[in-house]
Amino acid sequence: MHYISLATSFSPNLCVEFAADGGHSPLSALLKLPPPPASSEDDGLDRTTLPLDPTYVYAFTADLVEDLHSLVYEIASSCTAHHASFPAPATPLDPATRVARQPRSFSLPLLPPFLIDQVSNVRQTGQDDVGFVMWPSAVVLALFVALKPALVRGKSVLELGAGCGLTGLVCGAAGAASVVATDFSPLVLANLDLNVRINELADRVSTELLDFYQQSGTSAAGWLSPGSDGPRPPAQVVVAADVICKDSDAGAAARSVFDCLAVGGEAFVVSGTGDHRFGVDLFSGCCKDLDLTIKSEVQTVQQILGLGEHGDVILGCLEQCAGFVDDMTFWFHHIEKRA
């Protein structure tokens, strides 16, 4: 019960699934359950009208019934808050839908497992929705940070195009002082918020809207968020995984790195290589045009991470991502913003 209560308070998907699977039925019955008498002596109550078997009712103590009631009310109000009707018609989900709705578990070396919910209740329709799912570069960059936590420990970090947010969450868990995980899609950001809460990192990780195309690439004061009064402060470390989806994104992402990065800071930008990944070859030149110092290499996962004993772990994580292919290579960019 406690687990259901916790899970449904975090996840709209679990609320819908819980209701659709008929989990609401026993809860509805419990909601109607009156407190039992203080003693089992005859109290004049007609137990034949109770919703549950009367002998079953006697087995509950008053405290337990009260605890059950408050848990059930929590679950019911979570479901309502996430717009899952309660009680709802019990239409079982088919197995494929059920699997797609589950948060995925990413177990990275040296850190506790991360639960990552993807946006599975809204259909992905185009390029703007690519943040609905996890991409392999996020795993590579997250692992890179997990294996070298000193890169972020005690520092302010900003993630660009965070999507489901694994990289930013790992920065938070690895000891960053603060992480601002950004994206331009409100739907993606809502899911990201959820992942921050599921992984209990809200004390360190916050989320904000940031559109690459609104950044000038010349600002010393910081970056712009829609609706904010002035520039938001730059961070000591910027991370970005698979954020370049078309040629024009290369320049816009480079301008974003410039505005988001504090002088003396460093950025790590990873993108998958491949014919269908447009714009990624242009990114390095765009950074140089802005006087950012950049070192770029195309590398295998093994070359970036030197995995050794962790090989199977990373393969398991990568296989859960969209667009992963065996022997994939990645652009790995290390960028510095010098005075």
Ligand X SMILES: C[S@@+](CC[C@H](N)C(=O)[O-])C[C@H]1O[C@@H](n2cnc3c(N)ncnc32)[C@H](O)[C@@H]1O
Per CB under 6 A, residues contacting ligand X are 130-131, 134-135, 137-138, 161-164, 183-185, 188, 210-213, 241-243
CB of 50 to ligand X, least distance (A): 51
- Using only C-alpha atoms, the chain has a radius of gyration, in whole angstroms, of 24
SS3 222: coil
CB of 52 to ligand X, least distance (A): 47
Cβ proximity to ligand X, 137 vs 199, nearer residue:
137
Of the candidates 103, 173, 180, which has an alpha carbon nearest to the alpha carbon of residue 134?
103
CB of 99 to ligand X, least distance (A): 19
CB of 325 to ligand X, least distance (A): 15
What's the one-letter identity of residue 326?
Answer: D
Cβ proximity to ligand X, 17 vs 208, nearer residue:
208
CB of 269 to ligand X, least distance (A): 10
Cβ proximity to ligand X, 17 vs 159, nearer residue:
159
Distance CA 251, CA 230 (A): 22
Instruction: Report the residue closest to ligand X, judged by CB.
Output: 131
Cβ proximity to ligand X, 84 vs 188, nearer residue:
188
Q: Which residues of 118-139 are buried (b: 16+ CB within 10 A; e: fewer)?
A: bbbbeeeeeeeebbbbbbbbbb
Cβ proximity to ligand X, 20 vs 188, nearer residue:
188
Distance CA 255, CA 10 (A): 35
Handedness of CA 111, 107, 181, 10 (dihedral sign): negative
Alpha-carbon distances, residue 210 vs 186, 228, 250 (angstroms): 10, 10, 16
Cβ proximity to ligand X, 74 vs 211, nearer residue:
211
Cβ proximity to ligand X, 14 vs 252, nearer residue:
252
Neighbours of 196 (CB within 10 A): 22
Cβ proximity to ligand X, 32 vs 246, nearer residue:
246
CB of 79 to ligand X, least distance (A): 28
Distance CA 23, CA 90 (A): 8
CB of 70 to ligand X, least distance (A): 38
Cβ proximity to ligand X, 111 vs 130, nearer residue:
130
CB of 143 to ligand X, least distance (A): 12
Burial class (CB in 10 A: 0-12, 13-18, 19+), 179: buried
Neighbours of 30 (CB within 10 A): 19
CB of 80 to ligand X, least distance (A): 29
Note the helical H segments in 32-165.
54-58, 62-81, 95-101, 136-147
Give the number of residues written for the chain: 339
Distance CA 55, CA 58 (A): 5
Neighbours of 91 (CB within 10 A): 9
